[in-house]
Amino acid sequence: MDIDENAPVITRDEILIDAPLDTIWSLQTGISSWSEWQPDIDASTIEGPLEVGTVFRWQTYGLSIESTIQEIDAPRRIVWSGLAHGITAIHAWTMTPSEDRVLVHTEESWDGDPVRAEPEEMQQALDGSLRAWLRSLKHKAEAQTQGR
């Protein structure tokens, strides 16, 4: 599954992380532990195994979000979709290892009435959110690797 290329708000970003793929994958897919390393996530729970169709709930920036895993190709790709306050989101993560590093690429689309009403503000919010997520993932994965 890919993001909605026709959505009014789309963000693509990536970061190079000096850590093993397994470490990064474990952090990214350890959904119930997200709040331990991501300051912008207040809580998160997953209701079942990490597989297509599994639902997880999380809270960020005052929003309560229910997401569903749409695609999983461990340990290289995960895609989920969700709905929160009229915003339909599709979020894809791809991890590409090379030597001792991993390029983590993320892309997300937002659509819905709130997004169409304020596309510039929503674009800024999504850009900032994904940038912060990538930085937090890099920081945590590299810190864990240094601790080995």
Q: What is the pLDDT along the chain (148 residues), one digit of tens a residue?
A: 999 999 999 999 999 999 999 999 999 999 999 999 999 999 999 989 999 999 999 999 888 999 999 999 999 999 999 999 999 999 999 999 998 899 999 999 999 999 999 999 999 999 999 999 999 999 999 999 987 6
Angle at 51 between CA 96 and CA 39, to 5 degrees: 65
pTM (predicted TM-score) = 0.95
Give me the pLDDT at residue 48, please. Answer: 93
One-letter identity of residue 24: I
pLDDT in the model for residue 63: 86
pLDDT (0 to 100) of residue 146: 86
Task: Look at phi and psi of residue 61 and say left if phi exceeds 0, alpha if psi is from -120 to 50, else beta.
Answer: left
- The pLDDT, as a whole number, for residue 99 is 84
3-state helix/strand/coil string of 14-67: EEEECCCHHHHHHHHHCHHHHHHHCCCEEEEEECCCCCCCCEEEEEECCEEEEE
